[in-house]
A and B are shown apart, each in its own frame.
Chain A
Amino acid sequence: MMETIPGIAEVGSRNATAAYDASKTKTVLRVSGLEVTYYTDLGRAKALDDVSFTLGAGEKLGMVGESGSGKSTMALAMMRMIKPPGRIERGQVIVDDVDLMSLDEEGMRRARLSKIAYIPQGAMNSLNPVIRIGAQMADAIRSHMRRESRSAIEDRCAAALRSVDLDPGVYRMYAHELSGGMKQRVCIAIGILLRPSVIIADEPTSALDVVTQRQVMETINKVQADINAAVILIGHDMGLMAQTVDRVAVMYAGRLVELSTVKEMFTDPKHPYSQALINSLPNLDKRGVFSGIPGLAPSLLRLPSGCAFHPRCPHGQQELQRSVRPAPVILAGGRMVACHLYGEEGHAHE
């Protein structure tokens, strides 16, 4: 395990991106300065605030945080699927050297599924109940490859179904004839139909039982290895994450507060919020002792000043935390953390 000492890390620039093994793999995803606001009756809610990171081919990133921390908004923003009253204010999402934010509507439509695919959260209802599974796979292909022949499309679908361990006969079935796990697999199969560079899986296992959860995770691992895509796995099950992902990103109140390898995250979390998250995991050694995180997630409409976590933070009662937002800092080994405990002063943001 790499030992990092607080304080001796370089101070990150504003758009600091945590470079991870950039030397080993090609960078396929580069998100920088992404910002999303919801304009509600009660005021503006900044659901995503200046989020930046990069991801290499074949890399798996877990994204964790409480409800409302911006995980799902993150996924929707990357797909450019934020609906009013929400709006993407600024930022770039570069997939294979193309900035998705600069594409026109039609260009973005083509990019969906072919460059960046999304595997939905509510897989139970994500399939159209009145048309056959096959039709829902074929129309996805046809929307991107108009000239593809019928038999080529069917072959491609059968291959995708096989790669998620489903019988190709599923092609002729309806959603209600499938179990929850099978439906989720179909969604994964659809996600890999066009071999995208980036796959975002939004809590892909949340509606499934434990055994099926594991199987679905294994399926995701397998297909990812097949097509060597970068995968972002959104979820709150830290245990499931620990076994699957390479790196973990922790979100808090729309901000990315820590990005570390999974091993570092579990053995030596840096951000006080990450520490609290890790400590709240049930542990066989200290059965019966359950430590939650004190306080509640803040309302995005009324974020605390300075560091958004300071009201719940054990170190948060100083003027600095209350007035200055901590800048992302790159620690030794490429970990990123946004906290006043690290880096000299951290400088003011906005």
Chain B
Amino acid sequence: MANIAMTPEQQSIHHPSGLTLFLRYMRRNKGLALGVLILLALTLFTVIGLVVVNPKHAYPLSAPLKLPPSLRYPLGTDFFGRNLLAAMVVGMWQTALIGLLAGGIGTLVGVLLGFTSAYFGGWVDSAIRTACQILTPIPVLLIQVVVAGSLDKRDVTIFTMALIVAMLAWMGPTLVIRAQVMTMKERQFVSVAKLSGMGDFSIIFKEILPNLLPFIAAAFVGQVFAAVFASFYLAVLGLGPLREPLLGNIIWAAQSQGAFFNGWWWWPLEPAFAMILILGALALVNMGLDELANPRIRRSE
């Protein structure tokens, strides 16, 4: 394949504008575009919902029981007298909150540990790496089950939920960032910076971090996905904050009351579809970012 060498003078000649390039890229990376679009639509739904719907109706005994979708209750009500539209709005917002919080914490810890491990090497590196390797095979959800089960039900809130999920979710990003920093350390610009007498910290912040951003972004989206997924599973098992209309909680409640046996089909179906949209959009964005961060995958398109 031809190398297309750019000379400084030629770069200034003419370039399609940034927006055009972005749109062209999005056209090729349709998945990323679709994912971003769905996420925007969901955000819009939640924001408008929070304004229009009374969030109190997302809690038990605020509406008649077991009504199928109708004009008055577009998504119906459940066995406990929750307006499911309100429950969807609040549940979506809470799911997003858990995802962002846990994803953020996991990514932050991962980036810090990954950096430390790769940059300083030696026994620090081996310790962190071994810890990651040993913890990775342990099924995270089951540990979360133990943690959530050991807590007093009253102590389980949206925030403890996020913490539980984040607790064992940092190994993935740690290993990814570590691998990236390792390769970057070998690259020339870092050696040049070292030779020119730059300190460790300025190298990290001025040279390595900017180059890592696409990977950190991809890791973050991956973490949010994993966190939403994990909190959903915990809630489906009945380990979520039971009073809250978290999407997984609604499914758990519906299943405990035998919703399908009793013909209340809308009850578990609605949170299921909401979850599909959230997870699907996150998966699309995640894949799209992977393609962006990994030029090898990109090349083939």
Looking at chain A's contact residues, the main secondary structure is loop
Q: Are B7 and A73 in contact (CB under 8 A)?
A: no
Is B3 interfacial (CB 8 A cutoff)? yes
Given contacts A68-B4, A72-B2, contact A42 B15 (CB under 8 A): yes
Give chain B nearest CB distance to A136 CB in angstroms.
Answer: 23
Whether A45 pairs with B10 at a CB distance below 8 angstroms is: no
User: A residues within 8 A CB of B6?
Assistant: 299
Min Cβ gap A317→B in Å is 16
B5 interface neighbour in A42, A67, A70, Cβ under 8 Å: A67
A14 and B1 CA atoms in complex are apart in Å by 26
A302 within 8 A of B: yes
Residues of A close to B41: CB separation below 8 A: none
Q: Are A68 and B3 in contact (CB under 8 A)?
A: yes
Smallest CB separation, A257 vs chain B (Å)? 16
Alpha-carbon gap, A297 to B4, bound state (A): 9
Q: Is B24 an interface residue (CB 8 A)?
A: yes
- Indicate if the CB atoms of A299 and B2 lie closer than 8 Å: no
Chain B 1-43: CB-based contact to A (< 8 A → 1; otherwise 0):
1111111001001111000010011000000000000000000
Complex contact A40–B4 (CB within 8 A): yes
Q: Which A residues touch B4, using CB under 8 A?
A: 38, 40, 42, 45, 68, 299-301
| Interfacial residues of chain A within 330-349, with CB under 8 A of chain B in the complex | none
Q: Is the CB of A302 within 8 A of B10?
A: yes
Which chain B positions have C-beta within 8 A of A299? 4-7, 10
> In the bound complex, do residue A68 and residue B5 qualify as a contact, i.e. CB atoms below 8 Å apart?
yes
Question: Which residue of B has the minimal Cβ distance to A296?
Answer: B7
The residue that B13 contacts in the complex, of A68, A72, A295, A302, with Cβ under 8 A, is: A302
Chain B residues, Cβ within 8 Å of A40: 4
Size of the chain A interface, CB-CB below 8 angstroms: 24
**A47 within 8 Å of B (CB atoms):** yes
Q: Is there contact, CB below 8 Å, between A38 and B5?
A: no
Is A298 within 8 A of B7, CB to CB?
Answer: yes
Q: Kindly state whether residue A41 has any CB partner on chain B within 8 Å.
A: yes
Tell me whether B7 and A41 are in contact (CB under 8 A). no
Q: Tell whether, in the assembled complex, residue B1 and residue A73 are in contact, meaning their CB atoms are under 8 Å apart.
A: yes
Q: CB-defined interface of B134-166 with A at 8 Å, one 1/0 digit per residue?
A: 000000000000000000000000000000000
Main secondary structure on B side of the interface with A: loop
Flag A54-72 by CB within 8 Å of B: 1 or 0 each. 0000000000001110101
A316 sits at the interface (CB 8 A): no
* Contact partners of A47 in chain B: CB under 8 A: 2
- Is A42 in contact with B2, judged by CB distance below 8 angstroms? no
Question: Would you give the 0/1 interface string for A127-140, flagging 1 where the beta carbon is closer than 8 Å to chain B?
Answer: 00000000000000
CB distance from B295 to the nearest CB of A (A): 13
CA distance A70 to B1 in the complex (A): 8
Task: Output the residue of A45, A70, A72, A299 with the most chain B CB within 10 A.
Answer: A299
Bound together, the chains give a CA A70 to CA B7 distance in angstroms of 17
- A91 CB–B CB distance under 8 Å: no
Chain A 210-247 per-residue mask, 1 if CB under 8 angstroms from chain B, else 0: 00000000000000000000000000000000000000
Cβ contact within 8 Å between B5 and A297 = yes
Specify which of B2, B7, B15, B16 is in contact with A45 (CB 8 Å cutoff). B2
CA–CA, A294 and B170, complex, Å: 51
A296 to B: closest C-beta gap in Å: 4
Cross-chain contact A296 with B5 (CB below 8 angstroms): yes
**Cα distance, A299 to B3, chains bound together (Å):** 9
Interface string of A22-66 (1 = CB under 8 A from B): 000000000000000010111001010000000000000000001
Q: Chain A residues near B5 (CB, 8 Å)?
A: 66-68, 296-299
Q: Using Cβ atoms and an 8 Å threshold, which residues of chain B touch A86?
A: 1-2
CB closest chain-B residue, reference A73: B2
**Are B15 and A70 in contact, with the CB atoms below 8 A?**
no
Whole-angstrom distance between the Cβ of B290 and the nearest chain A Cβ = 19
Q: Which 6 A-B pairs have the closest CB atoms?
A: A68-B3, A47-B2, A296-B7, A67-B3, A297-B5, A68-B5
Q: Which of B's residues lie within 8 Å of A, judged by CB?
A: 1-7, 10, 13-16, 21, 24-25
